[in-house]
Each structure stands twice: as C-alpha cells, then as structure tokens.
Amino acid sequence: MDELLDLTEIPKSDEMYMIAGWRQWADAGATSSALPRYLVKHTKARRIGRIKSDGFYLFQLPGTHHFLRPEVKFKDGHRREIRLNRNEFWYTGNEKKGLVIFSGDEPHLGAERYADVFFNAAAELRVKRVVALGGVYAVVPYDKDRNVSCSYSLLSMKDELDDYALRYSNYEGGVSIGSYMAHWAEVKGAEYVAMHAFVPMYDFSQLAPDLQGITVENDFKAWYDVMRRVNHMFGTHVDLGDLERQAEQLAESIGAQVDEMEERAPQAHVREYMAKLTEDFAEMSFMPLDDVWDRELGDIFKDME
C-alpha cells in the first residue's frame, strides 16, 4: 500500500463507486466541499481511511496572514479545536453495492503525487468509477434545474454520458482540482467524471446602485440535480427527499428576496430582469425513463383521487 495512504478497512461490496469533493477554487454553492460532508452524515457513512497530509500543504505565504493557516479555537487559553487539512474516505453500502465518499482539501504542493495517492486508493478500494464534484457561479434562473458541465477521462465513456443531460466542457484556463484529476485518471486508465453545477449568482448593481446581489452559499438544488445523476449512474439509492425539500425552500427564499427588492426599488425592475433570464435560459433537465414513469403514474393516481 502507498506510504501516504492509510486505509483502515477495505469494504467487500461487489461493486464500488466513489463520489469526491474538495475545499477548492471551483466550489460555487459549496457543491464540492459541503455535499460530501452532507452525504456522510445523511447516509451514516463510516470513516475507512485517509490520505496523509505530508508535503501537500503550505502553512503561509509571504504577505498573507490567514489565507492558508489552519484555524484554531481557544477557550480560556486552552485549545478546544483546530481545523487541520483532511483528506478522508468514508463508506456506505451493502454486500452488493458500495459508495465511497471522499472529502478533501485541495493540495497546495505535490499535486501529481497527491493524484497518484488518490487513484492508488481508488484501486485498493476496487472503485469502478469516480464522480468528482464542483460548482461555478453563473447568471442563471434560481427556480430552474441546474445545468451541469462535465469533463471525463476516457473517450469510451462519452456514449454513456450523452444520456445524463450534461454539457461537455470547452473551458480553457487555470485548472481546478477536479479537472486536474481527470488528466491523471486518463493516464491511469481509470473511469472518472468531473461534474460542475452552474449555481445562481446575481449582481443587481447595474439595475440600482444600492441593491445588494444574491449569492447562493449552499445550493441544495445543485446538490439535488447532481445527485440524481450520480444515483442513476451508479445504481445507488441515496434518499434525496431531504435535498429536494431544501431545494424547494431555497427557491422560495430567493423568490422572497426578489419580491422584497422589487418592492423596495421598483425602478430597478428586478422581476423583469429575472423573467428575461428565464426566457433566455436553455434548461437541460435530467429525466431518466424510470423517473418519467414514476411522475406519470403519480399524476394518474392524483387524478383518480
């Protein structure tokens, strides 16, 4: 086993899959950092290992103070808590199908070695495919399905991915950890998909200088729309009812903020601005056949009642 890899358990599920996220740059809506932690708690997953932090992180950069340092909390002079860099593997599942949940911190140094350890772990755990999470902010409607962009490791995967209502990335620029891992997955011949959800963010200053913008910190709708794809791809059955409810509450909350802005600054025409966004938006909804049947049958039963 890799010296930087500490696995305390190798689950014995017949099929193993992994979902991975990081505290990272491309983390709009906390899709990469908070969704894995939500899944750990929601599924009551157990910790099965970690990547050791040796050589991957800086303590500081000249001229910065809090940017990279670990965070500490004292009470009456005694350390009560310290937040160190963590890269942990968790597991939930049964003898037939297992889901590894990876929650990590984007490395500052040794990215190639970090990727090597990560995929060594996937091999040790017999993971068939990794889905990595990310989010990017965009001016998109808050009450529509989130569009999801993807990059992937092996050309042989594309025909299957066509079925998941994904936008294939044509991005050029600085690499995110998710996209960086896609490169190393291809080098290792591993199946890997990086999904980046488009998360709503609005700057209303062009409408009225005194209007505050809206930024979605935890985009439960993005989490829900990504996880619907992951559930279908992996054949897992993570209960998404809670996320669906939180997504609906999020849409109501943003709608209330828009209404408040319209009342406070009617000259800004915020509702008209949002309506134009919706009119110009090309929604890519993921609707697998089994979900279509469930929805149609539900409508039939409601009509019968």
Give the separation between CA 9 and CA 44, rounded to whole angstroms.
Answer: 16
Fill in the amino acid letter for 136.
Answer: V
User: Residue 24 phi/psi, 5° resolution?
Assistant: -155, 180
Report yes or no: 160 and 191 within 8 Å, Cβ to Cβ: no
159: its two tokens: 């025909």
pLDDT at 292: 46
Give the separation between CA 258 and CA 218, rounded to whole angstroms.
Answer: 18
User: Residue 92 phi/psi, 5° resolution?
Assistant: -140, 145
Alpha carbon distances (Å) from 276 to 123, 139, 140, 141, 197: 48, 11, 10, 9, 21
pTM: 0.90
Report yes or no: 91 and 101 within 8 Å, Cβ to Cβ: yes
Give the separation between CA 131 and CA 125, rounded to whole angstroms.
Answer: 15
CB neighbour list of residue 217: distance below 8 Å, 6 or more residues apart: 29, 30
Per-residue pLDDT of the chain (305 residues; tens, 9 = 90+): 799 999 999 999 999 999 999 999 999 999 999 999 999 999 999 999 999 999 898 887 766 666 666 677 887 777 777 767 899 999 999 999 999 999 999 999 999 999 999 999 999 999 999 999 999 999 999 999 999 999 999 999 999 999 999 999 998 998 999 999 999 999 999 999 999 999 999 999 889 888 989 999 999 999 999 999 999 999 999 999 999 999 999 999 999 999 999 999 999 999 999 999 999 999 999 988 666 445 544 555 555 55
pLDDT at 219: 98
Fill in the amino acid letter for 167.
Answer: R
